[in-house]
Amino acid sequence: MPTQEELIPLSGWRRKLYIIIFEADTRSGRLFDLALIVSIILSLLTVILESVASIRQQWGPQLKILDWLFTILFTLEYLLRLACVHKPLRYARSFFGVVDLLSILPLYLGLFIPESRFLADIRVLRLLRMFRILKLTRYMGEARELKRAMLASRRKIIVFLGTVVLLVIILGTLMYVIEGEANGFTSIPVGIYWAIVTLTTVGFGDITPKTPLGQALASLVMITGYGIIAVPTGIVTAEIARGASATPTDKQSATRLCPHCFSEGHDWDARFCKHCGGTLPRPARGEVS
Amino acid sequence: MPTQEELIPLSGWRRKLYIIIFEADTRSGRLFDLALIVSIILSLLTVILESVASIRQQWGPQLKILDWLFTILFTLEYLLRLACVHKPLRYARSFFGVVDLLSILPLYLGLFIPESRFLADIRVLRLLRMFRILKLTRYMGEARELKRAMLASRRKIIVFLGTVVLLVIILGTLMYVIEGEANGFTSIPVGIYWAIVTLTTVGFGDITPKTPLGQALASLVMITGYGIIAVPTGIVTAEIARGASATPTDKQSATRLCPHCFSEGHDWDARFCKHCGGTLPRPARGEVS
Amino acid sequence: MPTQEELIPLSGWRRKLYIIIFEADTRSGRLFDLALIVSIILSLLTVILESVASIRQQWGPQLKILDWLFTILFTLEYLLRLACVHKPLRYARSFFGVVDLLSILPLYLGLFIPESRFLADIRVLRLLRMFRILKLTRYMGEARELKRAMLASRRKIIVFLGTVVLLVIILGTLMYVIEGEANGFTSIPVGIYWAIVTLTTVGFGDITPKTPLGQALASLVMITGYGIIAVPTGIVTAEIARGASATPTDKQSATRLCPHCFSEGHDWDARFCKHCGGTLPRPARGEVS
Amino acid sequence: MPTQEELIPLSGWRRKLYIIIFEADTRSGRLFDLALIVSIILSLLTVILESVASIRQQWGPQLKILDWLFTILFTLEYLLRLACVHKPLRYARSFFGVVDLLSILPLYLGLFIPESRFLADIRVLRLLRMFRILKLTRYMGEARELKRAMLASRRKIIVFLGTVVLLVIILGTLMYVIEGEANGFTSIPVGIYWAIVTLTTVGFGDITPKTPLGQALASLVMITGYGIIAVPTGIVTAEIARGASATPTDKQSATRLCPHCFSEGHDWDARFCKHCGGTLPRPARGEVS
C-alpha cells in the first residue's frame, strides 16, 4: 500500500481536491467523508433490498434508478481520485484502489450478466475506511494487535490446515465407499464436503450417515475433529496471550535507563544498575500496572 | 446506577419502608426479599406454563387470574419503591428500576396486543437481585472478574465483530448469486443469515448449498470461519489468564513491607530486604495459596 | 469416600476375601479384578446388543439369559463386598458402593417396568475402577489435575451458566412471541430449548426461524452466543495454564532442601542457601525438565 | 522409522538410484521429486473425478486407463525403491513404505471388490513427503512444535476422552429409554451416536428428541457438553502457551555459559556470572527474539 506522502500532488486544484477526498482533518474533508459513508450504506441497502423478491416487485424500477445513481456517483469519485493523486497507478493498485474499482464494476457487468449486479455490495469493504476517518486509533491498535497475532501464528495454522485437508480427503473417500450413492454420498467431492461440515462441527444434516459402520466412522470423525478443533484456538490464544504479556515487560525495560552506563532492561523495583552498580532514578509508582 | 446512599430518605415511614424493601440486613428486609424471589419464580412459571397449549386449554382461566394477581402485586411493589426512595426519578432510571417497570408493562400491554403478555417473563432479570440478597459476595467477585475481562477485551471483540459483519455480507451475497433463489437462497438477507449460521458453526441445515460451486465456497467459509472462531476465544482467554496471574503477584508485593526502608515487592520467602538489607518480619505460611 | 484402612477387617476369611476383592497387589486379587473388568464389558455388550431390534429378534432369548447371568453374578459380588468389609454401611454409601448397587437394580426393576432394564448399562461407571486396578497412577495424576482445574473455576462457571439461563429464558420467550406456534415454536419451553440448541452452536435444525424478524434475532443470538462461548473455554484454559506453570515451581521448591537450616524453595541453580548462606548440594541436572 | 544412513547402499547403480529417488539435493533428484508430486496430484484428481457420476458416464474409459497408468507407474517406483535401499524390509516397514504400498494396492484389489478402488486416494498421504522435498524446514519446526504439544497433553486428552465415552454411553441409553424407537432412537448404539453428535456440538438434526423430557435432557446434555468442550481446548492451549514461553528461556540458559565455572542459566543481559562472579562473554544482540 503506498504511503500517503508519495500520493500527494505538490500544488494547484489537484492538491485542494486531494485534501478534500483523501484527508480528514479539514472541515470540507470531513464533510466529504461523512457523505461518502452515508452513500455507501444507502447503496448497500439498495442492493440488499433489491434482492428481496417482494420488495423488488413493488419498488423494482425505483431501486434500479437509485442503483445506477450511486454507481455513477462512485464512478465519478473514482475518476476524481485518479485525477488528483500524484501517481494514479499506485493508487489504482493499492488495496482501497482495487476495492473502489470493484465497487463500480458489477453494475456495468450486470448489463451483460444480470445476476452479477448483486456483487455490487462488495463495496461494503469501502467501509473499512471508516476506521481512519473516525479517528478510531485505539481500535486500529487493537486491530493491528489481532493481525500481528494471526500473522505470527500463520505457519502453525498452515501446517494445521494442511493436516485437515489430508484428513478430509481420506475421510470423505472412506465415507463415499462405506455409505455409497444411495445414502446421499454421491461422489468423493460430496464426501469431502460432508467431512468438512462434520469436522468443523457445523453439521448441516443435509447428508448424514445411515449405515451402522458409517455412523461409527462419523462418531470417530466427530470426536477426533473435536480434539483437532482445539488446535487453532490454542495457537491463536497462546499468541494473543504472549502479545498481552510481552507489552508490559517491554515497557519496563524501555522506561528505566541507567544514567551512568545507559543500559536498559532493569526490573521496576531495582535501585542499583545491575551492569555498572550506579544508582538508578526511582520510577513513578503508578507507572507499571 | 445511583449509589445506595443517595437513594435513602432521611427519616419517617419512608425510611422504614426503604430499609425493608431495598436492604437485606434486617429480619423484615430478608423476609421481604425471600417473598419477592418466590413470587418472581412462581410468576415466571405461570407465564411459561400458560404458553403450553395443552396446559392452557385445561388451566387457562386459573393461570390468567394468577398472572393478573402477580402483576398487580409487582405494580404495588413498584409504586412503593418509587414512594420510599429519596429521588424517585433516579431509581426509575437505574438498571433495576427499568427492569421492574418492564416486568409489569407486558400484561397491561396485553390488553391491546394479546401476544405481548408473554414478554412478562423479562422479569427473570429481577432475579439478578438474588446475588445481592443471598450475600453471594464470592460469586459477585467472580462475576466482576468476568465482567472486567469482557470489558478489557471489548475493543478487540468489536474489531473482530466488525470484520465478521463485513465478511458475512460479502459471503451472503456470493452465495445468493451462486446458488440462486431455486436452492433456498431467496434474497441477500437470507444469504447473510445462512453465512452467520455457517460461520458460527451452528449449521441448522434449513438452507444448504446444492450446486458444486456453492458447496466448494461453503467448505471455504467453514474452514475460514473455523480459524476465525479461535479469535474471540483467544481474546477472552488471554484476558482471563492475565487477570488470574495478576492477582497473586499483587498480593505478594502488597502484603510484605520492609519496616526499615518501607519498600514493597519482596518474595514471600525472603528474610532480608533486598533494598536495604534489614530483617523482614516472617509472613504467616498459609497466607499465599 | 471412606479410606481403605477403615474398611479392612482385622482377620479371618473376611480379611482374605477383602484382599482378593478390594486389593490388586496379590495374584488372586489381580485375577479377580481382570475377571471383573471382562465380565463388566461383556455384560455391557449384552445390554447394548439387546437394544438393536434385528439382533434382538434373532438372539433375544440367549441375550436375556446372559443378561440374567451377569446380574446374578454382580449381585453375588455385591453381597460378598458387603460381607467382607469392616463397616458395610460405609461401603454401601461410598461412590463405588452406590454404582455397584445401581448396576444390578435395573434388571430386577425391569420385571415391573420392562424398558428400565436397559438402564443396566450404568454399570459402565464400574470401569472407573480400572484406573486403580491397572495402576494408571500417572493418568490418575492428570485426572486429578483436570478435576482441580474444574473445581477451581466452578464459581466462574456457575456465574456464567446463571447468565446463560437468564439469557435463554428471555430469548426463548422473544422467539415464541415473534415466530409463533405456526413456525414450530409451540410454547415458551420449546423456545427455550431452541435458544439452548442455538447458543451452544449445536443447531439441530428441527426448529428454525421462518420470519425475517425471527431470522434477524436468531443471527443476533448466534453472534452474541459466539462471544459467550469463548468464556467457559477462557476460564478452563486460564485455570489449566495456571496449574501447568505452578507444578514445576512446586517441584523445584520441594526437591531442594538446605542441609544447614532445612529451608525449602531454593531455585534449581542456586549454590548457596538464601536463608542462612550455607552451601547447597547440587541437584542432578536432568531432575528438572 | 529407519534413519537415512542405514538405508543408503554403499556403491554401484543402486547408490545412484538411491540418490535420485530418496534424496533431493542433486538436480536429477529434485526433478524426480517434482515429477512424483505432479503425478500424485494428477492421480488423485483422476480418482476423485471418476467418483462423480456425470463425469464417469462421459469420460469413464479414459479415466480408468489413466488410473491404471498411474498405478503401474507407482508400482514400478515402489519396486525400484525396494531394489535400491540397503535393507528393503526396513523401508517396507517404515511409515512412507507402508503408505507407498497402500497407494497401489486398492486398484489391484478393485479387480475383486470394485468399490475399493476409490480407496486409492489414500495416496494423498504421500504428499507429506512434500515437506521434506520443498525444504520447508521452518514449517517442519512448527509441525514438530504442534506434535510436541499434542504429545505432551496426550494423557490429559485420554482421560478426557475416557470420560466422554462413559458419559456418551450413559446419555445414549437414557435417551433410548426416554424417547423410544418411535422417535428415531431405534437402539442404544443409535442413542450413543446421537449423544456424540450433540456433545460435540455438530448437531446434524437427523435424530432429535420429540418428548418434553427428552428435550429437557438434551438441553442438559448441550449445556454440560458446552462446559466439557472447553477442556480439550484448554489442555492444548496451555501446552502450546507453555511451549511458546519455554523456548526462549531454554535458549537463554543453553546458549550462555560461564567460561570460568562452566555454569549455565544466565540471563541474556547479565555481564557477570551469578555463581562465581567471573566476566561473561557478551551474546549477539539479535540472538534472543
pLDDT tens digits along D19-70: 777 776 778 877 888 888 888 888 888 888 888 888 888 888 888 888 888 8
Cell numbers for A234: 490454542
Q: Which of D206, D225, D242 is the last residue of a domain?
A: D242
CA-based nearest residue in chain C for residue D158: C139
DSSP B168-224: HHHHHHHHHHHH-GGGT--SHHHHHHHHHHHHTT----SS---SHHHHHHHHHHHHH
Q: How many CB pairs under 8 A join C and D?
A: 137
Per-residue pLDDT band at A272 (split at 50, 70, 90): low
Q: How far, rounded to the nearest angstrom, does the alpha carbon of residue D161 sit from its chain's CA centroid?
A: 19
With respect to residue C262, please indicate whether it lies within any of the assigned structural domains: no
Which residue of D124, D189, D205 is in closest CB contact with A169?
A: D124
- The SS3 of residue D106 is helix
pLDDT average, residue stretch B266-278:
56
Looking at CA atoms only, how far is residue A229 from chain C in angstroms? 12
For residues A22 and A121, membership in a common domain is answered with yes
- On the question of pLDDT at C78 being above 50, the answer is yes
DSSP state of A134: T
CA angle, A196 then A198 then A200, to 5° = 65
- On the question of pLDDT at B96 being above 70, the answer is yes
So what's the pLDDT on residue C157?
77
**C209: CATH:** 1.10.287.70
- On the question of pLDDT at A244 being above 50, the answer is yes
With respect to residue D117, please indicate whether it lies within any of the assigned structural domains: yes
For residues A151 and A266, which has the higher predicted lDDT (pLDDT)?
A151
For residues A131 and A182, membership in a common domain is answered with no
So what's the pLDDT on residue C289?
32
Tell which phi-psi region holds residue A267, choosing left (phi > 0), alpha (psi between -120 and 50) or beta: beta
Q: For residue A205, which amino acid is it? A: G
Looking at CA atoms only, how far is residue C288 from chain A in angstroms? 23
User: How do residues A255-269 score in pLDDT, each as one tens digit?
Assistant: 455 566 655 555 555
- On the question of pLDDT at A196 being above 70, the answer is yes
Distances, alpha carbon D134 to alpha carbons A152, C209, D23, D25, in Å: 21, 50, 12, 10
Contacts of D203 in chain B (CB under 8 A): 202-203
Contacts of B248 in chain C (CB under 8 A): none
- On the question of pLDDT at B263 being above 60, the answer is no
Q: A residues 187-226 near D, CB within 8 Å?
A: 187-189, 198, 201-205, 208, 212, 215-216, 218-219, 222-223, 225-226
Which residue of B159, B180, B223 is in closest CB contact with A139?
A: B159
On whether the CB atoms of residues B202 and C222 are closer than 8 A, the answer is yes
For residues B28 and B130, membership in a common domain is answered with yes
D156 and C164: CB-CB below 8 Å?
Answer: no
Which residue of B208, B241, B242 is in closest CB contact with A206?
A: B208
Cell numbers for C200: 451452544
On whether the CB atoms of residues A212 and A219 are closer than 8 A, the answer is no
For residues A160 and A74, membership in a common domain is answered with no
Give the span between the Cα atoms of A152 and A144, in whole angstroms. 12
With respect to residue D3, please indicate whether it lies within any of the assigned structural domains: no
Which residue of A155, A202, A203 is in closest CB contact with D138?
A: A155
Q: Which of C108, C136, C164 is the last residue of a domain?
A: C136
Q: What global pTM score does this model have?
A: 0.76
A242 and D239: CB-CB below 8 Å?
Answer: no
For residues A55 and B113, which has the higher predicted lDDT (pLDDT)?
A55
**Average predicted confidence (pLDDT) for chain B:** 75
Asked if C237 is an interface residue toward chain A (Cβ–Cβ < 8 A), one would say yes
pLDDT average, residue stretch D227-234:
73
For residues C131 and C16, membership in a common domain is answered with yes
Per-residue pLDDT band at D125 (split at 50, 70, 90): confident
Neighbours of chain D (3+ CB pairs under 8 A): A, B, C
With respect to residue D247, please indicate whether it lies within any of the assigned structural domains: no
For residues A253 and B206, which has the higher predicted lDDT (pLDDT)?
B206
For residues C32 and C88, membership in a common domain is answered with yes
- On the question of pLDDT at C271 being above 70, the answer is no
Give the span between the Cα atoms of B122 and B99, in whole angstroms. 8
With respect to residue C264, please indicate whether it lies within any of the assigned structural domains: no
pLDDT average, residue stretch D158-187:
85
User: How do residues C192-212 score in pLDDT, each as one tens digit?
Assistant: 999 998 888 888 888 888 888
- Other beta carbons within 10 Å of D65: 11
For residues D10 and C39, which has the higher predicted lDDT (pLDDT)?
C39
So what's the pLDDT on residue B287?
37
Per-residue pLDDT band at B142 (split at 50, 70, 90): low
With respect to residue A3, please indicate whether it lies within any of the assigned structural domains: no
User: How do residues C16-33 score in pLDDT, each as one tens digit?
Assistant: 777 777 776 778 877 888
Which range of residues forms the domain containing residue C172? 150-242
Distances, alpha carbon C211 to alpha carbons A113, B185, B190, C180, C216, in Å: 31, 14, 10, 10, 9
- On the question of pLDDT at C219 being above 80, the answer is yes
Give the span between the Cα atoms of D86 and D106, in whole angstroms. 27
Q: C residues 5-64 near D, CB within 8 Å?
A: 44, 47-48, 51-53
For residues C153 and B192, which has the higher predicted lDDT (pLDDT)?
B192
**Per mean pLDDT, which of A223-232, B10-19, D72-81 is the most reliable?**
D72-81
For residues B112 and B195, membership in a common domain is answered with no
Asked if B278 is an interface residue toward chain D (Cβ–Cβ < 8 A), one would say no
Total domains in chain A come to 2
For residues D102 and D195, membership in a common domain is answered with no
So what's the pLDDT on residue B244?
59
Sign of CA dihedral D130, D133, D134, D138: positive
Place of cell 534424496: D23
Which residue of B176, B231, B241 is in closest CB contact with A236?
A: B231
Per-residue pLDDT band at A248 (split at 50, 70, 90): very low
Name the residue among B96, B93, B104 with its Cα closest to residue B21: B96
For residues C203 and C234, membership in a common domain is answered with yes
A200 and B205: CB-CB below 8 Å?
Answer: no
Per-residue pLDDT band at C255 (split at 50, 70, 90): very low
- The SS3 of residue B279 is strand
Contacts of A166 in chain D (CB under 8 A): 124-125, 127-128
Name the residue among B119, B140, B138 with its Cα closest to residue B51: B119
So what's the pLDDT on residue B91?
79
User: How do residues C111-133 score in pLDDT, each as one tens digit?
Assistant: 777 767 677 767 777 777 665 55
- On the question of pLDDT at A214 being above 80, the answer is yes
**Average predicted confidence (pLDDT) for chain C:** 75
A238 and D235: CB-CB below 8 Å?
Answer: no
- On the question of pLDDT at D245 being above 70, the answer is no
Q: Which of A207, A226, A242 is the last residue of a domain?
A: A242
Looking at CA atoms only, how far is residue D109 from chain A in angstroms? 14
For residues D10 and A251, which has the higher predicted lDDT (pLDDT)?
D10
Helices (H) and strands (E) in chain D, counts: 11, 0
**Average predicted confidence (pLDDT) for chain A:** 75
Per-residue pLDDT band at D2 (split at 50, 70, 90): very low
Give the span between the Cα atoms of C116 and C120, in whole angstroms. 8
Which residue of D156, D173, D227 is in closest CB contact with C157?
A: D227
CA-based nearest residue in chain D for residue C186: D212
In sequence order, the 6+-apart residues with CB closer than 8 A to the CB of A6 are A86, A87, A90
Per-residue pLDDT band at D253 (split at 50, 70, 90): very low
Per-residue pLDDT band at B257 (split at 50, 70, 90): low
C202 and D204: CB-CB below 8 Å?
Answer: no
- On the question of pLDDT at D282 being above 60, the answer is no
For residues A154 and A77, membership in a common domain is answered with no
Place of cell 542457601: C273
Give the span between the Cα atoms of B226 and C169, in whole angstroms. 29
So what's the pLDDT on residue D221?
85
For residues D197 and C150, which has the higher predicted lDDT (pLDDT)?
D197
With respect to residue C188, please indicate whether it lies within any of the assigned structural domains: yes
Place of cell 505538490: A10
So what's the pLDDT on residue A288?
35
**B121: CATH:** 1.20.120
Per-residue pLDDT band at D274 (split at 50, 70, 90): low
Tell which phi-psi region holds residue C188, choosing left (phi > 0), alpha (psi between -120 and 50) or beta: alpha
pLDDT average, residue stretch B201-229:
84
With respect to residue D221, please indicate whether it lies within any of the assigned structural domains: yes
**Per mean pLDDT, which of A271-275, B271-275, D197-201 is the most reliable?**
D197-201
For residues A53 and A99, membership in a common domain is answered with yes
DSSP D162-180: HHHHHHHHHHHHHHHHHH-
User: How do residues A73-95 score in pLDDT, each as one tens digit?
Assistant: 888 888 888 888 777 787 788 77
- On the question of pLDDT at B247 being above 50, the answer is no
- On the question of pLDDT at D168 being above 50, the answer is yes
DSSP D117-140: GGGGGGGGGGGGHHHHHTT-HHHH
So what's the pLDDT on residue C93?
82
- Other beta carbons within 10 Å of C198: 28
For residues D115 and D164, membership in a common domain is answered with no
B205 and A204: CB-CB below 8 Å?
Answer: yes
pLDDT average, residue stretch D82-107:
80
